[in-house]
Structure 1
Amino acid sequence: MTALWKTWGARCALAFGIAAAALPGAQAQLLVGQTVGITGSAAITVKESMLGASLYLDHVNATGGVQGQKIELLALDDRFDPQLTLENARTLIEDKGVLALFMTRGTPHTQGIIPLLDKHGVPLVGPSTGAMVLHQPVPRNVFNIRAPYQREVEKAIAHLALLGVQHIGVVHVDDTFGEDGLAGAQKGFQANQLKALFVEKFDRAKPDFSAIAPRVRSREPQAVIFIGTGAAVVSGIQALRAAGVGGQILTLSNNASGGFVKALGEQARGVVVTQVFPSERSLNYPVIKEAQGLAKARGLKELTPAMVEGFVNAKVLVEGLRRAGPRPDRVRLHAALEGLSKFDVGGLELSYSSTDHTGLDFADLSIISTDGRFQR
């Protein structure tokens, strides 16, 4: 078991702990912070994305680190609570002095720490959110890697329209993430000369679908786009099915994890999940082949989309640290990241500039098969 994975388990046991990811006996010298919902409604996907990141970070440390320096990942559990995200970020930046933050999760969570990032000039690499507000206007210290949610939703609606599906409803969480996804849906409807059959929203902190599900059933949708996170989406899909909703259900890439499929149980089959990285089984992409090799060496049977996201994010972080020189600081790391141009992540090309921090523009669709896999 690797150091990062062991610390993940330790944090779960402590509920709100701090731990490091250095190799045994090695003193970490490049300190990176993470605040993420290790517990809470996003935990099932967070677990897998962190494992994917650890595959690459542990590999780098085991082969000499970055210019002889080990990478230490200091993680705090924010329980998927935006207020705790802010408190944790402040601790990591002001008290622990991290070089960068890495792979936060949640739209309001990430939005809330931007003033703190800007105040201290701390880069955030690979937030696990595709909110457009993190792309335009360009936040100086946020370096996105995944494509925007709006692109995912537009692609999903275009696919449905191509199949002749016209009666499409939207159920979304009532926060900035949900609003962003809804904006993408409206663009998708407009581009395909359609209108939303209905729009329903639910509370992020206390999701309740007892009233929403019957209303959705009464509209007899051919498809429902479900915008939300983890446990809430699982509960919502189960409620819709229990109410007799029989149309196609689609959700976004933030739910692309094996844990999400397992939590859905019998209701998983046939759910469409948008994706922002290549298939975890596509050996045509060198990055997937590399991740599969490291996963096999770790004793893991297979990758999941969330693990791929963590792996790719870690590769970009490490490249930034490498280009920041032998004595990196926040300023040098920012300059190194912003100077990445046509960086080959492994079959995926990523570029940043002072006017573009979007990263990748990859979007695809998958469907959960009878064996619980994401089929492209």
Structure 2
Amino acid sequence: MKFTQWLRAGAALAVCCTGWMAQAQILIGQTVGITGSAAATVAESMGGAALYIDSVNAKGGVGGQKIEIVSLDDKFDPKLTLENTRTLIEQKGVIGMFMTRGTPHTQGIVPVLEQHGVALVGPSTGAMVLHEPVSKYIFNVRATYQREVEKAITHLNTLGIKRIGVVHVDDTFGADGLAGALNGFKANSLEALFIEKFDRAKPDYTAIAPRVAGKQPQAVIFIGTGAAVVDGIKALRSAGVTGQIVTLSNNASGGFVKALGDSARGVVVTQVFPSERSLNYGFIKEAMDLARAKGVGDLTPAMVEGFVSAKVLVEGIRRAGPKPDRARLHAALEGLKKYDVGGLELSYSATDHTGLDFSDLSIIGSDGRFKR
């Protein structure tokens, strides 16, 4: 082969390799209810995450590699969550997991994460069991459900509302929220007016709603997810319950409000991030600008959660070095100190994977927006 032919061959090889490097991807796994009772909120949180990850990829990704989120639909079924996690880790070869949804769902995959040394960033659940004791491979971003419920009860008490009951889903999420409610009642020298629970797979309010109405509550703390809470709130209103209804941040989505329809106005939804319209926070403005550039409408709280969780994930990948793998990503996340996401600061250590501690309340207005 002549020298010029070698040059051409080398140039062709360089082009080939450059093209491969440009397409090289950092694979991150996600199993979440793309369909099922939590689908509306899931779609918004995934959309918020995509705003940030797409912007990073548009600039070349991290170290010349683009981030790909491989998402599998678990239909909000814990059994499918476990199956999907095994598929993503053992077959797809993801180096990390991202934004699972649901308390029993996330609890169920912890042994798989530990088996393979895979970090999970930003589970969309505030279950205390994922915070204390510290789970080595769970890196929480949002505050706990218990903090949300306690704050809600304290707020209601300051308004003179003391006849407060609890309706909760009968699973580990519901039990966790109930524990927060009981702490809130104790801290405010109150007792629960009633405690009712419903089946997660087949919620039925035909007996619960009349019993709740008979107690004439001033407020009801409703702990559940998506469609189950929508149906429950409608059932309570139809039974004659006129008191304030409070639900948690896992329902802070435009889809939840839309599904509630005429029953939405006045429902209080706890929040774990600042208002999606607050320009006092840099990450809110950043998300707004990216959404506007993509032609996306108003941000929602669920989109904000996805956006911030994505920022934490990407920062971990950046700090994992030029060849991120499972061990390097875990070490980078655990070494994350005083990371400013844009107005809120987050730190992790070997003894603390809590993340942020922000908590607030909002109320759904007549225009369907969350108002602070």
**Superposition pairs of residues 125-164 of structure 1, within 5 angstroms:** 125-164=121-160
Q: Choose which of 51, 58, 74 in structure 1 pairs with 2:54.
A: 58
Displacement after TM superposition at 1:77 (Å): 0.0
Local SS of the residue matching 1:46:
helix
Whole-angstrom distance in 1 between the partners of 2:218 and 2:282: 38
CA–CA separation in structure 1 for the residues paired with 2:51 and 2:297: 13
- Provide the rounded CA distance (Å) in 2 between the counterparts of 1:90 and 1:259: 30
Give 1:301 shift.
2.0
Number of aligned pairs?
352
Paired AA for residue 122 in structure 1: V
Work out the CA distance in 2 between the residues paired with 1:300 and 1:372: 17
Larger radius of gyration: 2
> Residue in 2 aligned with 1:280?
276
Match of 2:101 in 1: 105
Q: Distance in 1 between matches of 2:250 and 2:69?
A: 22
Give TM-score scaled by structure 1 length: 0.93
Does the CA-based 8 Å contact 1:181-1:227 persist in structure 2?
yes
How much has 1:28 moved relative to structure 2? 4.1
Identity of aligned residues (%): 78
Aligned 1:106-125 pairs, distance under 5 A: 106-125=102-121
Deviation sequence 1:318-357 (CA, Å, 0-9, x none): 0000000000111110010000111000001000000000
Question: 1:28/1:220 Cα in 2 relative to 1: closer, same or farther (>3 Å)?
Answer: farther
- Which ranges of structure 1 fall in alignment gaps of 5 or more residues? 1-24
Residue 316 (structure 1) aligns with: 312
Which of 202, 209, 217 matches 1:206? 202
For 2:22 and 2:207, locate their aligned partners in 1 and report how far apart those are by CA, in whole Å: 55
Q: Distance in 1 between matches of 2:106 and 2:33?
A: 12
Match of 2:169 in 1: 173
1:323-334 equivalences in 2 (<5 Å): 323-334=319-330
Report the Cα distance in structure 2 between the residues aligned to 1:26 and 1:246, rounded to whole angstroms. 58
What letter matches 1:215 in structure 2?
R
Query: Partner letter of residue 101 of structure 1?
Result: M
Contact 2:22 2:65 survives alignment (8 Å): no
Verify: 1:351 aligned to 2:347, yes or no: yes
Following superposition of structure 1 onto structure 2, how do residues 290-309 of structure 1 map, counting pairs within 5 Å?
290-309=286-305
Aligned partner of residue 297 in structure 2, secondary structure: coil
1:244 match: secondary structure: coil
- Matched residue of 1:356: which SS? coil
CA contact (8 A) 1:36 1:76 kept: yes
User: Matched residues in 2 for 1:26 and 1:340: separation?
Assistant: 28
Task: Report the CA distance shift for 1:170/1:262 in structure 2 as closer, same or farther (over 3 A).
Answer: same
RMSD between aligned alpha carbons? 0.8
The answer to whether structure 1 residue 218 and structure 2 residue 201 are counterparts is no
The answer for unaligned runs of 5 or more in structure 2 is: 1-20
What do the CA deviations read for 1:11-62 (whole angstroms, capped 9, x no partner)?
xxxxxxxxxxxxxx96242000000000000001000000000000000000
Instruction: Check the 8 A contact 1:30/1:71 in 2, yes or no.
Output: yes
